[in-house]
Chains A and B, each alone.
Chain A
C-alpha cells in the first residue's frame, strides 16, 4: 500500500493530487473539478485541511499570484506519490474485477 497515506479513492488529498495532475488550480477551481470528475463535493473546510497537509508533506506547492485565490501545483514528490497510490488502486481493482468475473484478468 502507498506510503504516502493515500488509501481511499475518495480521499480529499488523493482527489486534489488527481485534479492538480493536469495543471495548477486555486481552491474554487479544485472543488469544481473534483466535483466534476469524482462526484465528491469538498467543502472549504475539508479542502483547505487537505491542502494544508499536502503542502506540509511537500506534495503540492503554492504559486505566486492573487493572495485571495492562490493557485497550487503538484510537486515531483506529489506526482510520484500519486503514481504509487494509483498503481496500488489499479492492482486492487484488477483483482476485484477478475474475481467478480467482470473482465478476464
Chain B
C-alpha cells in the first residue's frame, strides 16, 4: 500500500491539514530504514484514532446542541424503542389485569410519536427534494451517513436484545442482570441513533427554504413530539409499576403525569406564539398577542 493510500484511513479534513506533512515524515522514516510493516500499521492505527476522535467531537457537538430535557426525551425514546420487540411479543402476550392497557398506552405513544415525526418530515419534503436536486447532498452526506451507521448499530443491538429475551417470561427477564445491562446499553445506542438523525435533520433544515407557515407548524409539531415522548415515559413507568406491583413506580408515573399536564400546555402555547411571531415577521405585520389583547379589553370595559 502506497503512503498516499494509507492517508485514506484519516478523515478528509485531517488529510487536508496534515496529509502532506505526514507523507514527508513517512518518507523520511522509510529512508531511515524503519521496517515498513510496523510503519504501515502505526499509520493505519493513527488514522483510526483520528476518525474516532472526530466522531467523538461530532457526538459532543450534537450533545451540546441538545438541552437537558431533549437528551432525556431521546434516552426515553431509545429505551422504549430498544424494548419494542420484547414489548410486542413477551410482555404483551403475558400482560394481565391493567398491565394490558398500560402496554397499549406505550405502543400508542410510540405510534403517535412516529406519526408526528413523519408529518414533520413530510412538510419539509418538497423543500428537501429541491435542495437535493440543486446538488445539496454533499453538504449533508456526512451527518446522514453517520446517522445511518448508528441506525445499523442500533438495529443490531435491538435484534440481539430480542434474541436474548428468547422465550423467557417477563419475570425472568426482569431478574436478569445481563438483560438489564443490555437493555440500558440498547437504550443508549438507539438514543444516539435518534440523536444523530435529529442532528442530520437540523443540519439539513438549515439549507432548506421553508415557508413561514410551514416553519410555524413545524414548531408546534416539535412541541407535540416532546409531549408524546413524555406520554411514552408516563405509560412506560405505569406499565413497569403494573408488571412489578411497585407502588413507588406508580407514584413516579403519577408525578410525571401531573408535571406533564402542567408543562404540556405551556410548551405547546409557547410554540404557537413563536409560530405566530414568525408568520407576522414574514408578512411585515406586528405580532398579535392574544393575552395582551384580552387584558387591554378588560381595562377598557
Interface, chain A (partner B; CB < 8 A): 26-28, 31, 41, 43-49, 51-52, 67-70
A28-B29, A44-B46, A45-B46 given; A69·B38 CB < 8 A: no
A51 and B50 CA atoms in complex are apart in Å by: 12
With beta carbons under 8 angstroms apart, the residue of A27, A44, A68, A69 that contacts B43 is A44
Known: A52-B14, A68-B20. A46 touches B46 (CB 8 A): yes
Q: Are B29 and A48 in contact (CB under 8 A)?
A: no
CB distance from B54 to the nearest CB of A (A): 10
* Nearest CB of A to B53, in Å: 8
- The minimal Cβ–Cβ distance linking B200 to chain A, given in whole angstroms, is 25
| Interface membership of B252, Cβ < 8 A | no
Q: How long is the Cα–Cα vector from A69 to B18 in the complex, in angstroms? A: 10
**CB-CB contacts below 8 Å: B24-40 with A:** 24-26, 28-29, 34, 38-39
Q: How far is the CB of A71 from chain B (nearest CB, A)?
A: 10
CB contact list, B1-49 vs A, under 8 A: 14, 18, 20-26, 28-29, 34, 38-39, 42-47, 49
Among B18, B25, B26, B39, find the residue whose CB has the most chain A CB atoms closer than 10 A.
B25
The answer on a CB contact under 8 Å between B25 and A67 is no
Chain B residue numbers with a CB within 8 Å of A68 are: 20-21, 23-24
Please name all residues of chain B whose beta carbon is closer than 8 Å to the beta carbon of A52 when the two chains form the complex.
14, 18, 50, 53
* Bound complex: CA A28 to CA B39 (Å): 14
Contact of A43 with B39 in the complex, beta carbons under 8 Å: yes
A70 to B199: give the CA distance in the assembly, Å: 36
B27 to chain A, nearest CB (A): 9
Determine the residue in chain A with the shortest Cβ distance to B43. A45
B residues with CB within 8 A of A: 14, 18, 20-26, 28-29, 34, 38-39, 42-47, 49-50, 53
Among residues of A, the one whose C-beta sits closest to the C-beta of B9 is A45
Q: Could you name 20 residue pairs across A and B whose Cβ atoms are closer than 8 Å? A: A28-B25, A41-B34, A43-B34, A43-B43, A43-B46, A44-B29, A44-B39, A45-B42, A45-B43, A45-B44, A45-B47, A46-B46, A48-B18, A48-B21, A48-B25, A49-B49, A49-B50, A52-B50, A68-B24, A70-B21
- Partner pick for A27 among B25, B34, B44, CB 8 A cutoff: B25
Residues from chain B with Cβ under 8 Å of A49 in the complex: 46, 49-50
| B20 contacts across to A, CB distance below 8 A | 67-68
Shortest Cβ distance from residue B292 to the other chain A in the assembled complex, whole angstroms: 50
When the two chains form their complex, are residues A44 and B22 in contact, meaning their CB atoms are under 8 A apart?
yes
Question: Which A residues touch B25, using CB under 8 A?
Answer: 27-28, 31, 44, 47-48
Whether B21 contacts A69 by the Cβ 8 Å rule is: yes
- How many whole Å from A72's CB to the nearest CB in chain B? 10
* Among B14, B28, B49, B53, contact of A28 (Cβ-Cβ < 8 Å): B28
Q: Point out the residue from A43, A51, A69 that lies within 8 Å of B29, measured CB to CB.
A: A43
A68 to B24, CA, bound (A): 6
Given contacts A52-B14, A52-B50, contact A43 B42 (CB under 8 A): yes
Provide the residues of chain B in CB contact with A31, threshold 8 Å.
25, 29
- Separation of A52 and B50 alpha carbons in the complex (Å): 9
Taken together as a complex, chains A and B put the C-alpha atoms of A27 and B34 apart, in Å, by 15
Pairs of residues from A and B, 3 with the lowest C-beta to C-beta distance, nearest first: A45-B46, A43-B42, A68-B24
CA distance A44 to B29 in the complex (A): 8
